[in-house]
Amino acid sequence: MAPMLPPGRLGRILAALAVAVGAGAWAAARTGGPAGAPGFLVGLAVALLTAGLVARRPVPVTLAIVGLSSVYLLGQIGQPTALGATALFAVAMLVVLELGWWSTELAVPVVWERSATRRRWWVLVALVAGGGVLAFAVGLAGVAGRDTSLVWFAVAAGAGPAGAWAVVRVTRAASRG
Amino acid sequence: MRWRPAPKLHVYVALVSAAFVAGLASGRVEPVVLAAPLALAVAVGLAAAGPAAVELGVELAHARITEGDTVALDVTVSAPRGLPHVEVVVDIPAGLAALAPGPARGLALRAGEPRRLEFALRSSRWGSYELGEVVVRACSPLGLLETDGHSTGRLPLVVYPRPETLRRLVRAQQVQTAPGLQLAAVKGEGIEFADARPFVPGDRVREVNWRITARRGAVWVNQRHPERSTDLVLFLDTFGDPTLPAAVRAASSLAAGYLVQRDRVGLIGFGGVLRWIRPGVGLRQEYLLIDALLATRVFPSVAWKGITLLPPRVLPPKALVVAVSPLEDDRALTALLDLRDRGIDLVILEVSPLACMSAPTDEAEALAQRLWRLRRAELRDRYRDLGIPTVEWSEGKPLAAAIEEVRAWPRCSRRVG
């Protein structure tokens, strides 16, 4: 009889898979529809992700992220830069990667205290928020003067470090309790 | 303790680097945007990591417990600076099991605030154990850096076999002179009525039986059975590997039962290593015996051993010898026959190895097993023909039933072949 997955780990696995499937389907749709090669690549990446999560192997999880990101980037070829969509996709990949690594920790079933788990979720939320801001800021800085004005470059140059600093503060506070 | 990069850090750095290279090569910003949250995670994970220092203390609530009991292992963890992810894993030897929530716990440590974790361990098998091997693994925020350490202390834990309650015990055919709880066959000073006889000068007045005196017209006195102790020597056959735990459990129960009744109990461990404890009485003797039983191991040896190696005081006259043996090794079988030839009051408690055997898988194996059983039955009959009570017992069955079977044995009417 196969051992039952702990509820917390099962939740993280399902959440990671849901985000990955959603992001992959969206990327495939932008690339040219789910029926072609992009759809096949997304399916392969999701299968790899599932295998890695269940077998507690981080390498397949990482390869799945690379696969999904490749599908998205292939869809962007010849298209105008979509900063918001790319930042959103980047955040989704970060969520999948973090949940994936979290689910593949220690083969020994560690019983975590609620407070420790709660802090970890707070750090993840802060990281996702800060990561989204930073991704958008990096995008703005990257296209400044070409697709947007220099004002947006200044905004990005300020928002990026500010977001990173905020995340560091939240993480440190969560670490010290 | 020092931080070292976790595999996650390598993967994140590799992904960020690959994305930056892709962005530079393609001249597009999207790969860099995709990698920006990962780069932030790396920066945050490294910036928020404090010094890696965890202090660990381990204590055991009791050093001696009885089989089936629970003992608490207390682990105290503290860190000078807060750590968000600390995993504490207790290494538990076979024979002990951690009760819920298990041997591994995860917690967050606040700066300078020690945390005490209690691990409840249940003992499922007697023996001597060493505890205290505790591994602690700490991760920095986001798990990019990790460190681990372990406690170096060794905490001994002795788990005594749980003695089975024995209401009645096998009695020796001859008692010793020391007072005890067993009725002697002879008549003398005691409590239990044995007989009445005519008065002779020297008899005490309190022994006069007035009813018989009135009826007979002459003074008659009561005679009584004195209460005496017996000497028990446990002969533990340590040649049999799979049956040894059951044999030790049975020997422990017998020793406890006899010592409670103020009988003297000794031990002979007959195996690869020959060891003995001279018969004695009291609590000290009980601990001596139990410690010797716990230290009993199977040592492979091809050296021929006999009871001639034993000092005479280990086998006192009139002693009852209860042999706890699987009746497998020829050396033990010969030693038992030697004991019988010396006229020692011998009882064999056969610890059946059948319970340790798997079911036969094919016809040849079934036939071999049947032949083996026949050989064992023949051996048992041989001992019985010599007048040695031989009863079969296996773990899981009540030892009291085997004792009753021995008591029902007609030990006074032996056929000596």
d(CA B145, CA B47): 11
Dist. CA B59–CA B132, nearest whole Å: 8
Please tell me the total number of residues recorded for chain A in this structure: 177
Instruction: Mark yes or no for CB contact B30/A113 under 8 Å.
Output: no
Number of independent structural domains in chain B:
4
Q: Is A142 on the interface with B (CB under 8 A)?
A: yes
- Residue B24 sits in the same domain as residue B64: no
Across the interface, whether the CB atoms of A65 and B82 are under 8 A apart is answered no
- Chain A positions touching B140 (Cβ under 8 A) are 175
Judged by a CB distance cut-off of 8 A, whether residue A97 touches chain B is yes
Q: Do A116 and B111 touch (CB under 8 A)?
A: no
Q: A-chain residues within 8 Å CB-CB of B103?
A: 108
Question: Within chain B, how many helices (H) and strands (E) appear?
Answer: 8, 22
Residues B122 and B211 in one domain: no
Residue of A nearest to B137 (CA): A106
CA dist., res. B369 & res. B11, Å (int) = 59
Chain B nearest-CA residue for A68: B34
Give yes or no for B110 touching A (CB within 8 A). Answer: yes
Q: For residue A137, give how far its alpha carbon lies from the nearest alpha carbon of chain B (Å).
A: 9
- Domain residues for the domain of B147 are 55-160
- CATH number at B359 reads 3.40.50
What is the C-alpha separation between B21 and B18, in angstroms, rounded? Answer: 5
Q: Which of the two residues, B222 and A144, has the higher pLDDT score?
A: B222
- In a shared domain, residues B101 and B38: no
The reply to whether B335 and B388 lie within a common domain is yes
**B-chain residues near A131 (CB < 8 A):** 36-38, 40-41
- Choose among B15, B30, B106: nearest Cβ to A112: B106
Contact residues, A window 59-78, toward B, CB-based 8 Å cutoff: 62, 65-66, 69, 72-73, 76
Kindly state whether residue B166 falls inside one of the protein's structural domains: no
- Please check whether residues B220 and B239 belong to one and the same domain: no
Instruction: Answer whether residue B297 is part of any domain.
Output: yes
pLDDT at res. A44: 93
Question: Coil, strand, or helix at residue B392?
Answer: strand
Q: How far is CA A10 from CA A17, A110, B103, B217, in A?
A: 11, 14, 21, 97
Residue B67 lies inside a defined structural domain of this protein: yes
B313 to chain A, any CB pair closer than 8 A? The answer is no
At A74, which amino acid appears? L
My answer on whether B235 and B343 are in the same domain is yes
| Partners of B351 in the β-ladder | B393
Mutate to test the interface with B, among A111, A115, A125, A128 (most CBs of B within 10 A): A111
Top residue of B29, B75, B116, B117 to mutate, by most chain A CBs within 10 Å, is B29
| Nearby residues of B13 by Cβ (< 8 Å), 6 or more positions away | B42
Residue A127 at interface with chain B, using a CB cutoff of 8 Å: yes
**Which residues are CB-neighbours of B130 under 8 A, at least 6 positions away?**
B93, B154, B155, B156, B157
Which positions in chain A touch B11 (Cβ < 8 Å)?
58, 62
pTM for this one?
0.70
Over 50: is that where the pLDDT of A112 sits? yes
Look at residue B177 and tell me if it is in a domain. Answer: no
Together in a domain, B240 and B206: no
Give me the tens of pLDDT residue by residue for chain B, a chain 417 residues long. 788 899 999 999 999 999 989 888 888 888 999 999 999 899 888 888 877 788 888 888 888 898 889 999 999 998 888 888 888 998 888 889 988 888 888 888 888 888 899 999 999 888 888 887 888 888 888 888 988 888 877 888 988 888 888 888 888 888 777 777 777 777 777 788 888 999 999 888 888 999 999 999 999 999 888 888 888 999 998 887 788 888 888 999 999 999 988 899 999 988 877 888 899 988 888 888 888 888 777 667 666 676 777 777 778 888 899 999 988 888 888 888 888 888 888 999 999 888 777 888 889 989 998 998 899 889 888 888 888 899 989 888 899 999 998 888 876 544 333
Complex confidence, ipTM: 0.86
Q: Are strands B55-60 and B64-66 parallel, antiparallel or unpaired?
A: unpaired
Alpha helices, H only, A55-148: 58-76, 83-103, 114-143
Beta strands B264-270 and B134-139 are unpaired
- Do B305 and B196 fall within a single domain? no
- What is the C-alpha separation between A17 and B51, in angstroms, rounded? 35
Amino acid at B134: V
Same domain assignment for residues B264 and B329? yes
Give yes or no for A91 touching B (CB within 8 A): yes
Mean pLDDT of chain A: 82
* Preceding amide of A6 cis, omega within 30: no
pLDDT at residue A4 in the model: 64
Beta bridge partners of B198: B220
Q: What are phi and psi of B90, to 5 degrees?
A: -100, 130
Angstrom CA distances, B2 to B7, B106, B109, B115, B146, stand at 16, 20, 17, 21, 8
In a domain, B416, yes or no: no
Nearest Cα residue in chain A from B140: A175
Tell me, yes or no, if B144 comes closer than 8 A to chain A by beta carbon: no
Phi and psi at residue A18, to the nearest 5° = -60, -45
pLDDT value at A50 more than 90: yes
Q: Copy the structure tokens of residue A159.
A: 């928002």
Which residues in chain A have their CB less than 8 angstroms from residue B109's CB? Answer: 177
CA-angle at B229, arms to B223 and B232, nearest 5°: 145
B230, B320 contact by CB (below 8 A):
yes
- On whether both B114 and B207 belong to a single domain, the answer is no
What is the longest distance spanned by two Cα atoms in chain A?
Answer: 63
- Give mean pLDDT, residues A97-122: 84
Are B236 and B308 in the same domain?
yes
Subunit contact B104:A112, Cβ cutoff 8 A: no
Q: What angle do CA B207, B213, B214 make, to 5 degrees?
A: 135
Distance separating alpha carbons of residues B236 and B194, to the nearest angstrom: 37
Phi-psi region of A107 (alpha: psi -120 to 50; beta: other; left: phi over 0): alpha
Partner-chain contact A116 B104, CB within 8 Å: no
Q: Are strands B70-78 and B96-98 parallel, antiparallel or unpaired?
A: unpaired
B103 part of contact set with chain A, CB < 8 Å: yes
Question: Please, what sign has the CA dihedral across residues A22, A127, A75, B12?
Answer: negative
Q: Quick one: B248 and B347 in the same domain?
A: yes
DSSP B352: -
Is B250 among the domain residues? yes
* SS3 category, B221: strand
B34 burial (CB, 10 Å; 0-12 / 13-18 / 19+) is buried
